Structure 1
Amino acid sequence: MKTAMLPPGPATPRLLQAAYALTVPRRGMPRMRDRYGDAFTVNLPTFGRALVISDPGEIKQLFLSGSDATDKIDRNLGRVLGPGSLFSLVGEEHRRQRKLLTPPFHGRRLAAYERIVEDETERELATWPRGQVFATLPSMTRITLNIILRAVFGAEGAEFAQLRDLLPRLISLGSWLAVLPLARSERGPWGRFAALRREYDAIVARLISKAEGGDDVLTLMLQSRYDDGSAMSTGDIADQLLTLLAAGHETTATTLAWAVERLRRHPDVLAALAHEVDAGGSALRDATILEVQRTRPVIDLVGRQVKTDGFQLGRWTVPKGYIVLVSISLIHEDESVFPNARAFDPSRFLGARPDLYQWIPFGGGTRRCLGAAFATMEMNVVLRTVLRDLTLVPTSEPGERWRSRGVANAPAHGGRAIVHDRKSPNGKEH
């Protein structure tokens, strides 16, 4: 047995560490880095003792490690998304399911979803108040929820209305249960979640029975086959659909609200983006989305659990069962990786794609977010449509603080905006 070699960390009780992490997001990690360096140990109720890293080389090594050395954390979103979710699966079974689910979210199929994204954005923008302050996050949430529902299930119907009402409640409660150290119970929050999940399963079962073919994700999942010719079970389909609906909805909406928050405080970038939309370009918009995700990552931690004794990770020897957490915010604010890191500067990504072991809002390695390409396309089309149709009024107000929503960190005031209808270059209103 190898002797563990780990960095120091705070000695405060784990409940206090957890309370601080949940109530003061984004402050604890920088303070611990300032005190202990780019790696330190923490003790949290949900994870227990864990090693937090932010060194680029050690992050890359962790993401490239095989599933025999490190794999998913036992306590993760799989607790609420179900045993068939990608968050729950490990090793070969995770690889098989991921291979099956990849085609709908890549390549030519992405282009087919762009019309859905634009339609839903235009529909929602028509409801935005003109000349008044309002929070964009609820609106962005409706946009992304409708988009993912249409992409996953195709046409609309009675079940869609039920899912539109059910999913926000299910996902909101599940986001908190995923991070809070609450034991499962037939009563209380877990009981309420179980009731919502039964309602969701019943709706999905009806949709499966009605499926008649098409290009939606549900149909593709029903038609897909593993290498041995077998099909996905109904339970696995329900779990994976919930994973796609949850992961492909809240985090994207939150990033879009942060984009509004950032752009209103950087009028030069905002003006350049509007000019680019009129010219039919996209390079600055692409770079802006990357920079929003770098400076305002909605998920702050991604992790692995060590499966072998004495896992050597850079300078550290990590015991079996230990959790290694990657601090996304710390690597994104590392001056050696991103010079002038605290500045919001989309130009850093113009003509340069990010290193996916340093820019990691979607995680990394074999467990990187399956829907990253879909989410990027979605954010691009939503932002393009907003910039094309509306004038976003700049502000000199201080930036919005971070507010924890369980899994995701959102702007405290919901990404407030003031908008007016925008005239196109020919003088006509959009």
Structure 2
Amino acid sequence: MSETTIDKVADDAVGTAFLPPSPRRLPTVLQGLGYALFRRQTIGALTKRYGEAFTLKVPVFGHMVVVTDPALAKQVFAASPEDLGNIQPNLSRVFGPGSVFALDGVEHRRRRKLLTPPFHGKAMKNYEKIVEEETLRESASWPQGREFETLEPMMRITLNVILRGIFGADGAELEKLREVIPPWVTLGSRLAVLPTPTRTYGRWTPWGRFAEYRRQYNLAIDSLIEVARADPHLDERTDVLALLLRSTYEDGTPMSRSEIGDELLTLLAAGHETTASTLAWAFERISRHPDVLATLVAEADTDGGEYRAATILEVQRNRTVIDFAGRHVYAPYVELGQWRIPRGYSVSVAIGQAHLNRDEFPNPERFDPTRFIGERPNVFAWIPFGGGTRRCVGAAFANMEMDVVLRTVLRHFTIATTSAPPEKWHSRGVAFTPKRGGRVGMHHRGR
């Protein structure tokens, strides 16, 4: 059988499963190493060879069908959670069993219903001032007239924004979180794509350090929850911690302390690294496209924001930070296009490859914000936040944050353009960042 022939897998429950082609000439161990260590390059090469779908065996997830076509992505995201549910294993092994990443079905829908209000509608306006304040505070120390990495400053801005938005106050516990969260996120991003050992093997091992960061986080969170519960004005507070403490499920039961801790950690991590990484890519992109930068600067001096919003959409497409969205087959089988995927397999939507689809995005390698002017993207082709019932609950918050940060910087700084080659991609495990940290040169406007 040639490697391009449809794989046929006998399965007692479903008869015959028809799987997309797999690189049979590539040993399983090399498939796994390629996916774990060079995921973007491996998926790109296999997409060129096999097209819309192919099958791999990879670390952590086992047998996986990877789909790259927006039409197949639509089928994945529109499928019933009972058929195509939460990926296994999932990020709950990083964030904890109380995280929304751990939940499926009815429990997942109940939790999302609790988490949605703080990140939509009027609540968003409360955060815009915080984003602007944190951007101005961080940018006050930026070097003038010479290049610097924007990734770390963006990490500090997004962390401080989410800390203030979640807890609504400052103090020793928040300082502790500022100390613990950055190394925890960096380490967790790398460990998330590796198999979990049965034990930590000591405090000096990666998993031992990870467990110690979590212990320190739990101590800080316990103290913050106690203070919040004792606050006589808790019912008037708009921060996320207060909202979660006041929230109840439909049967009237509140979230447990461990659920709150896991969920807050999820919001801190998920709302921190990915947004900062996208902002670093935004500065890398616009500094290499003078026409885009000039249009952004002119718009920033007005009340407009259409071109800036389009630029953010294009950065998320052209420099995708999270490159896959996974599901697990729970039904006896799931049909995707011409394929029939059996129970126990994972299905991964290759987001980065979907963003390069030429039918949806003509000349996809070109960085061109005008492709989104006056036209919203196809929600199954432009998918940086995933899709379906598991689409990122903080997507609107993240886009607002990026918009305000970019607007504030453009209004207060002149960004130098460069003819340097594009920065290469760097994998942090889960997220992809600019290899040199999104280096740009800036100076205060008018100086």
TM-score normalised by structure 1 residue count: 0.97
Q: CA deviation at 1:355?
A: 1.5
CA distance in 1, matches of 2:289, 2:31: 35
Residue 118 of structure 2 corresponds to which residue in structure 1?
Answer: 104
TM-score normalised by structure 2 residue count: 0.93
Residue 426 of structure 1 corresponds to which residue in structure 2?
Answer: none
Residue 197 of structure 1 corresponds to which residue in structure 2?
Answer: 214
Alignment deviations for residues 355-408 of structure 1 (CA, whole Å, 9 cap, x no partner) = 211100000000000100000000000000011100110000000000000110
Q: CA deviation at 1:22?
A: 4.2
**1:200-349 matched pairs, under 5 angstroms:** 200-211=217-228, 212=231, 213=234, 214-349=237-372
TM-aligned CA distance change 1:25 to 1:266, over 3 Å: farther
Give the match's secondary structure for 1:417.
strand
Q: CA deviation at 1:171?
A: 1.4
Residue 180 of structure 1 corresponds to which residue in structure 2?
Answer: 194
Bigger mean CA offset, 408-417 vs 12-21:
12-21
Alignment deviations for residues 23-51 of structure 1 (CA, whole Å, 9 cap, x no partner) = 43422222111111211111111111110
Give the match's secondary structure for 1:27.
helix
For 1:81, which of 95, 119, 122 is the aligned residue? 95
User: Which ranges of 4 or more aligned residues in structure 1 deviate by more than 6 Å?
Assistant: none
Q: CA deviation at 1:194?
A: 1.4
Identity %: 54
Contact 1:25-1:403 within 8 A present in 2 as well:
no
Give the match's secondary structure for 2:102.
coil
How many aligned residue pairs are there?
A: 424
CA distance in 1, matches of 2:398, 2:351: 18
Give the match's secondary structure for 2:327.
strand
Contact 1:2-1:310 within 8 A present in 2 as well:
no
Contact 2:322-2:430 within 8 A present in 1 as well:
yes
Contact 1:184-1:190 within 8 A present in 2 as well:
no
Residue 20 of structure 1 corresponds to which residue in structure 2?
Answer: 34
For 2:82, which of 64, 68, 74 is the aligned residue? 68
RMSD, matched Cα:
1.1
Q: CA deviation at 1:17?
A: 2.6
**1:147-162 matched pairs, under 5 angstroms:** 147-162=161-176
Q: Is 1:360–2:377 an aligned residue pair? A: no
CA distance in 1, matches of 2:198, 2:285: 39
Contact 1:83-1:239 within 8 A present in 2 as well:
yes
Give the match's secondary structure for 1:335.
coil
Give the match's secondary structure for 1:26.
helix
CA distance in 2, matches of 1:23, 1:131: 36
Q: Is 1:7–2:24 an aligned residue pair? A: no
CA distance in 1, matches of 2:30, 2:409: 42
Question: Aligned letter for 2:227?
Answer: K
Alignment deviations for residues 296-332 of structure 1 (CA, whole Å, 9 cap, x no partner) = 1101111100001121111110000100000011110
Q: CA deviation at 1:119?
A: 0.2
Question: Aligned letter for 1:181?
Answer: P
Q: Which runs of 5+ in 1 are unaligned?
A: 424-428
Give the match's secondary structure for 1:95.
helix
Contact 2:174-2:220 within 8 A present in 1 as well:
no
Residue 10 of structure 2 corresponds to which residue in structure 1?
Answer: none
Q: Which runs of 5+ in 2 are unaligned?
A: 1-13
Q: Is 1:124–2:135 an aligned residue pair? A: no
Q: CA deviation at 1:136?
A: 0.5
